[in-house]
């Protein structure tokens, strides 16, 4: 297999016959991302950046670009496996990709906070089933697990948190239930839907969820929830610029989405020159508050 290893690897980089993982940013500037660190960022008004990552190299590049949180999202079903939705992703597949991402970070002394999705069917049966699935992801290298939905999930979140497993919740458009929702649509638009979302978000914070992805939710509602949930960091995707942080699917922000681009996506590749520079541009834009732009990317 042909390879083009860098002739003069930069110190700190990790050389293999098939390529060189990028060096992490200088160690003195880096502090491992942890729950206390995320809370400090939140309190200081420093926006939290998150991207999805599914393999060792992209994870290492994202870490070196300064992305604080990496989500091993079950969106890998669509972008890596070619599935029509996230419904078909198995726990074994999530473990495989979580291990890959964690190994990539270890090789470059990465410091990102790793969140892994509990896939469809891996936490629905019982709290005990959720615990077994969450333990498998934590043992694969995750620092936190994410699960979708509110109401019935509250007690599962409490059960996991009480057992030392940090949990990220996910409300609004929850892709695992796309068939029940009738498609990929904005959620929380009616007064009743917004009331339910507010109630579920509060319950999830009270149960100990330290993070909450808000997907395709009106910007005003996401901002209101962010102001209300001081200990549960809202991470928006199609939820406007008033959340504590932002997440995008890696392939979307690199312009590799072959289908129709969702309104909330921005392609950071043009003009960036490299994947790492595109990720740095994303981090910069989120921190500066220029992405997302409510007039363009939100409802």
Kindly tell me which residue out of 237, 278, 285, 298 binds ligand KIV, with binding defined by CB under 6 A: 237
Using Cβ positions, the residue closest to ligand KIV within the complex turns out to be: 73
- Nearest C-alpha neighbor of 206 from the set 223, 222, 172, 230: 230
| Distance (Å, whole) CA 184 – CA 228 | 26
Per CB under 6 A, the segment of 37-45, 73-81, 198-206, 260-268 that binds ligand KIV is: 73-81
Shortest distance (Å) from residue 161 CB to ligand KIV: 19
Bridging pattern class, strands 14-16 and 19-21:
antiparallel
C-alpha distances in angstroms, 56 versus 61, 145, 272, 295? 9, 19, 22, 35
Which one from 99, 128, 215, 228 is the annotated catalytic residue?
A: 215
Residue 138 within binding range of ligand KIV, rule CB under 6 A: no
Shortest distance (Å) from residue 122 CB to ligand KIV: 14
**Residue 234's beta-bridge partner residues?**
212
Residue 209 within binding range of ligand KIV, rule CB under 6 A: no
Residue 133 within binding range of ligand KIV, rule CB under 6 A: no
Kindly tell me which residue out of 249, 254, 265, 285 binds ligand KIV, with binding defined by CB under 6 A: 249
Residue 73 within binding range of ligand KIV, rule CB under 6 A: yes
Shortest distance (Å) from residue 71 CB to ligand KIV: 6
**279 neighbors 51 (Cβ within 8 angstroms):** yes
Residue 49 within binding range of ligand KIV, rule CB under 6 A: no
Per CB under 6 A, the segment of 8-16, 39-47, 55-63, 70-78 that binds ligand KIV is: 70-78
Shortest distance (Å) from residue 235 CB to ligand KIV: 7
**165 neighbors 140 (Cβ within 8 angstroms):** no
Shortest distance (Å) from residue 184 CB to ligand KIV: 11
Per CB under 6 A, the segment of 26-34, 66-74, 91-99, 187-195 that binds ligand KIV is: 66-74
Residue 247 within binding range of ligand KIV, rule CB under 6 A: yes
User: Using only C-alpha atoms, what is the Rg of the chain?
Assistant: 18
Element (H, E) at 49: strand 48-52
Residue 104 within binding range of ligand KIV, rule CB under 6 A: no
Peptide bond into 126 cis (omega under 30): no
Shortest distance (Å) from residue 204 CB to ligand KIV: 15
Cβ proximity to ligand KIV, 120 vs 159, nearer residue: 120
Residues 6+ apart with CB under 8 A from 109: 12, 24, 27, 30
Q: What residue spans of the chain are helical by DSSP H?
A: 35-43, 56-64, 76-79, 91-107, 127-139, 154-162, 178-181, 191-206, 219-228, 250-253, 275-288, 294-297
Residue 214 within binding range of ligand KIV, rule CB under 6 A: no
Element (H, E) at 147: strand 144-148
Based on the residue annotation, tell me whether 215 is a catalytic residue of this protein: yes
Residue 130 within binding range of ligand KIV, rule CB under 6 A: no
Residue 170, CB-side half-sphere exposure with 13 Å CA sphere: 25
The region that residue 62 occupies, defined by phi over 0 for left and psi between -120 and 50 for alpha, beta otherwise, is alpha
Residue 226 within binding range of ligand KIV, rule CB under 6 A: no
Q: Which stretches of the chain bind ligand KIV, using CB under 6 A?
A: 52, 71, 73-75, 117, 213, 215, 237, 247, 249
By annotation, the residues acting in catalysis are 215
């Amino acid at each position: 297999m042909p390879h083009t290893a860098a002739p003069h690897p930069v110190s700190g980089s990790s050389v293999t016959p098939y390529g060189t993982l990028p060096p992490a940013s200088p160690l003195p500037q880096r502090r491992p991302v942890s729950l206390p660190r995320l809370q400090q960022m939140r309190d200081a008004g420093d926006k939290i950046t998150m991207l999805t990552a599914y393999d060792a190299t992209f994870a290492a590049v994202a870490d070196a670009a300064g992305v604080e949180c990496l989500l091993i999202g079950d969106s890998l079903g669509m972008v890596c496996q070619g599935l029509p939705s996230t419904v078909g992703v198995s726990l074994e597949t999530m473990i495989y990709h979580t291990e890959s991402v964690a190994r990539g970070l270890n090789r470059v002394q990465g410091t990102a906070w790793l969140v892994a999705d509990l896939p469809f069917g891996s936490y629905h049966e019982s709290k005990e089933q959720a615990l077994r699935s969450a333990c498998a992801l934590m043992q694969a290298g995750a620092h936190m697990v994410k699960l979708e939905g509110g109401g019935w999930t509250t007690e599962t979140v409490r059960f996991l948190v009480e057992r030392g497993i940090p949990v990220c919740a996910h409300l609004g458009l929850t892709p695992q239930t796309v068939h029940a929702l009738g498609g990929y649509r904005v959620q929380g638009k009616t007064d009743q839907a917004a009331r339910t979302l507010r109630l579920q978000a509060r319950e999830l914070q009270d149960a100990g969820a330290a993070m909450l992805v808000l997907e395709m939710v009106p910007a005003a509602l996401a901002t209101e929830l962010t102001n209300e949930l001081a200990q549960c960091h809202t991470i928006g995707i199609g939820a406007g610029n008033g959340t504590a942080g932002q997440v995008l699917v890696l392939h979307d922000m690199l312009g590799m989405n072959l289908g129709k681009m969702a309104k909330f996506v921005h392609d950071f590749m043009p003009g960036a020159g490299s994947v790492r520079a595109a990720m740095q541009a994303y981090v910069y834009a989120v921190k500066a508050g220029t992405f997302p732009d409510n007039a363009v990317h939100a409802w």
